Amino acid sequence: MRTTLLAALLALAPAALAQSPLATVAERSGFSRTGRYEEVIALCEAFARAHADRVRCESFGTTPEGRPMKLLVATATGAFTPEAARERGIPVTLMQGGIHAGEIDGKDAGFLALRELLEDGAARGALARQVFVFVPVFNVDGHERFRAWNRPNQRGPEEMGFRVTAQNLNLNRDYMKADAPEMRAMLALLQRWDPLVYVDLHVTDGAKFEHDVSIQVEPVNGGDEPLRAAGLALRSGTIERLAKHGSLPLPFYPSFVVNDDPASGFVDGVATPRFSHGYAMLRNRLGMLVETHSWRPYPHRVRVTRNTILAVLEQVARDGRRWQALAAAADARARALGGTQVALDYQATEAVRSIRFRGYAYTRAPSEVSGALMTRYDETRPQVWTVPLRDVIVPRTLVTAPRAGYVVPAAWAERVAAKLDAHGVRYERLATPVADVDAEAWRARTMRFTGESFEGRQRLTLDGAWTRERHSLGAGALYVPIAQDLSRVAIGLLEPNAPDALAGWGLFNAAFERKEYMEDYVAEEEAEKMLVADPALRAEFERRLREDAAFAKDPQARLEFFYRRHAAWDERYGLYPVLRVDRDPR
């Protein structure tokens, strides 16, 4: 199979194709090299000139280093704007390459597939029944950090871009917090075009084995339940088409449970919305993660990615209208989530089944270099492994969505509004103060800040609960209604225990920092007064001393017992600065 695919790709390059203005550096080099970003700009314009009736070249943002973020809109429907596509009910498929710019298969495969769609009759008729929006490189600045060995676990091309942006941010961790300018440009693009299918083209790291691509789609195990049928159909149809082309596709990400130990097998799951396909699920759209296998040569990977692109476009052309109806119904259900249970994240159960996995013979022995137990593969000896797989997925964390929505007090409104705007989540500002609002407030019992930065932020893990309280709201507070298409996004941003909530990404860290203290000598004096004045408090304190040995031995914990019950205690400490309400507070 490897020889056949390599020959097929090489046959495309040297002769007439080498003179074509639509040929890539990859094709001209026999897929040993990939071009710089100037090639993307040139090809974008060249495709638009050569096929003016079916292609448009546009920019959708500018990177921190000043480079244009380019896309191509390809369709035979004439619907070259989002408005035209919506008015006519034409499904939109958006695919992106180079979110990790060292994993650049999607760029070269996308240009190859697009030319074949336009000139060679590939996926015949697909462009007549959809709009194909193609972003060759998402992480443009990272693409231009160009050199060999940017991807040490990957076979080809000779040089490639870097994983992260010029600001050292990983875009495929940024979908919810939206810190990167590139991500905010992409989120605006998603809002404009509202693609039914969003495909993210990657190359995996990992062990050496024969499987050459994994296809993951959501919703399949999570998100809106009726929409999962469309996600499963897209995943199954893509895998079936790839298998017919000779690939060995997988429906899960092939990362061992125990690093470097094939016998440990695999665990499937649902990506959190910091990742592209997990984010698409919250928008009630179909998100696909494509991961070709890094140890396959570049020509092979490009061909497999090209096959995947065409497989998706064929299916959207055939089933897109029906899937659009399912997505619209999911939007309607999203508008009615108030008061219902919603899963924040998911996990695999302990149910295990054995699968046959196409690997290679291997040995495990201590390394002379590191001293660690290392796995070494023999690629000349294919071997079928029987390994465990846990792929029964259930919700991990369930919450009951607020009946009306969320309220963000005025003091925090601007920073939250900026994030809501980035996602297109609808909100209203309170024009006048509102006193004595019946609401649910969330107070933290424990707060744990990470010891080091992650993606430029200090993450925060909270444990607490919602309880009913009365709060007054100042003018300028935000009301975020749950009755909207993007209610799942709102919940994912504003529920404090959601895996990629704004709270978890540190947006509210100051609210969970203690700012005032009672000196020990003052606390001692006040505690003595409280013990005399309140017999019930004395009884509670003495019980704690008897039953909690750690408490009894900790002078600070004993003083804190009294301080937390004193009028001096800061009642806002640990109060999450978002409320939930059962009715519109305006």
3-state secondary structure of 146: coil
H or E segment and range at residue 364? strand 353-366
Q: What is the pTM of this model?
A: 0.94
Give the model's pLDDT for residue 14: 47
Give the model's pLDDT for residue 569: 86
The answer, yes or no, to whether residue 91 has pLDDT greater than 50, is yes
Residue 338 included in any domain: no
- What average pLDDT does the segment 150-168 reach? 97
Task: Please tell me whether residues 211 and 177 are part of one structural domain.
Answer: yes
Q: Cα(301)–Cα(108) distance, rounded to whole angstroms?
A: 10
Task: Please tell me whether residues 229 and 320 are part of one structural domain.
Answer: yes
Task: Please tell me whether residues 55 and 157 are part of one structural domain.
Answer: yes
The token pair at 389 is 């797989």
The token pair at 199 is 């495909």
Task: Please tell me whether residues 408 and 525 are part of one structural domain.
Answer: no
The answer, yes or no, to whether residue 524 has pLDDT greater than 50, is yes
Report CA 407 to chain centroid distance, whole Å. Answer: 25
pLDDT in tens, 95-104: 999 999 999 9
- What average pLDDT does the segment 88-113 reach? 98
Nearest to 108 by CA among 50, 33, 12: 33
Residue 348 included in any domain: no
Residue 343 included in any domain: no
Could you tell me the residue range of the domain that residue 538 belongs to? Answer: 520-563
Task: Please tell me whether residues 443 and 550 are part of one structural domain.
Answer: no
**Cα separations in angstroms, 77 against 60, 85, 128:** 22, 9, 5
Q: Cα(526)–Cα(354) distance, rounded to whole angstroms?
A: 64
The answer, yes or no, to whether residue 3 has pLDDT greater than 50, is no
Sheet holding 266-267, edge to edge: 266-267, 373-390, 353-366
Residue 432 included in any domain: yes
Give the model's pLDDT for residue 20: 82
Q: Return the amino acid letter for 245.
A: H
Query: What pairing do the DSSP bridges indicate for beta strands 393-400 and 341-348?
Result: antiparallel
**Mean pLDDT for the chain overall:** 96
Residue 337 included in any domain: no
Q: Cα(114)–Cα(43) distance, rounded to whole angstroms?
A: 11
Task: Please tell me whether residues 547 and 451 are part of one structural domain.
Answer: no
The answer, yes or no, to whether residue 237 has pLDDT greater than 60, is yes
The answer, yes or no, to whether residue 414 has pLDDT greater than 90, is yes
Q: Cα(293)–Cα(104) distance, rounded to whole angstroms?
A: 12
**Cα separations in angstroms, 498 against 243, 272, 296, 371, 423:** 37, 9, 37, 40, 16
Q: Cα(483)–Cα(403) distance, rounded to whole angstroms?
A: 9
The answer, yes or no, to whether residue 89 has pLDDT greater than 70, is yes
Tell me the pLDDT band of 17, cut-offs 50, 70 and 90. low
3-state secondary structure of 552: helix
- What average pLDDT does the segment 430-449 reach? 96
Tell me the pLDDT band of 570, cut-offs 50, 70 and 90. confident
Residue 65 included in any domain: yes
Give the model's pLDDT for residue 9: 52
pLDDT in tens, 200-221: 999 998 899 999 999 999 999 9
For the chain, what is the domain count?
A: 4
Nearest to 95 by CA among 117, 78, 72: 72
Q: Cα(96)–Cα(106) distance, rounded to whole angstroms?
A: 7
Q: Cα(109)–Cα(118) distance, rounded to whole angstroms?
A: 14
Give the model's pLDDT for residue 4: 53
The answer, yes or no, to whether residue 438 has pLDDT greater than 80, is yes
Task: Please tell me whether residues 459 and 528 are part of one structural domain.
Answer: no
Task: Please tell me whether residues 58 and 122 are part of one structural domain.
Answer: yes
Residue 490 included in any domain: yes
**Cα separations in angstroms, 34 against 63, 142, 153, 455, 578:** 21, 14, 17, 28, 48
**How many other C-beta atoms can be found within 10 angstroms of the C-beta atom of residue 253?**
18
The answer, yes or no, to whether residue 5 has pLDDT greater than 90, is no
The token pair at 168 is 């050292």
Task: Please tell me whether residues 327 and 465 are part of one structural domain.
Answer: no
Q: Give all strands (DSSP E) within 6-67, no chain letters.
A: 55-62
The answer, yes or no, to whether residue 71 has pLDDT greater than 90, is yes
Tally the residues of the chain. 586
Report yes or no: 105 and 203 within 8 Å, Cβ to Cβ: yes
Q: Which residue has the tokens 């959207």?
A: 316
Give the model's pLDDT for residue 112: 98
Task: Please tell me whether residues 290 and 141 are part of one structural domain.
Answer: yes
3-state secondary structure of 178: coil
Task: Please tell me whether residues 430 and 380 are part of one structural domain.
Answer: no
- What average pLDDT does the segment 533-553 reach? 96
Task: Please tell me whether residues 110 and 78 are part of one structural domain.
Answer: yes
The answer, yes or no, to whether residue 490 has pLDDT greater than 60, is yes
Residue 345 included in any domain: no
Q: Which residues pair with 581 in a beta bridge?
A: 405
Q: Cα(445)–Cα(462) distance, rounded to whole angstroms?
A: 8
Nearest to 357 by CA among 391, 327, 329: 391
- What average pLDDT does the segment 346-350 reach? 98
Report yes or no: 276 and 238 within 8 Å, Cβ to Cβ: no
pLDDT in tens, 29-59: 999 999 999 999 999 999 999 999 999 999 9
Give the model's pLDDT for residue 1: 43
Give the model's pLDDT for residue 576: 97
Q: Return the amino acid letter for 254.
A: P
Exposure string for 125-156, b = 16+ CB within 10 A, e = fewer: ebbebbbbbbbbbbbbbbbbbbeeebbeebeb
Torsion of CA 241, 247, 252, 253, to 10 degrees: -140
The answer, yes or no, to whether residue 528 has pLDDT greater than 60, is yes
Report yes or no: 63 and 166 within 8 Å, Cβ to Cβ: yes
pLDDT in tens, 248-299: 999 999 999 999 999 999 999 999 999 999 999 999 999 999 999 999 999 9
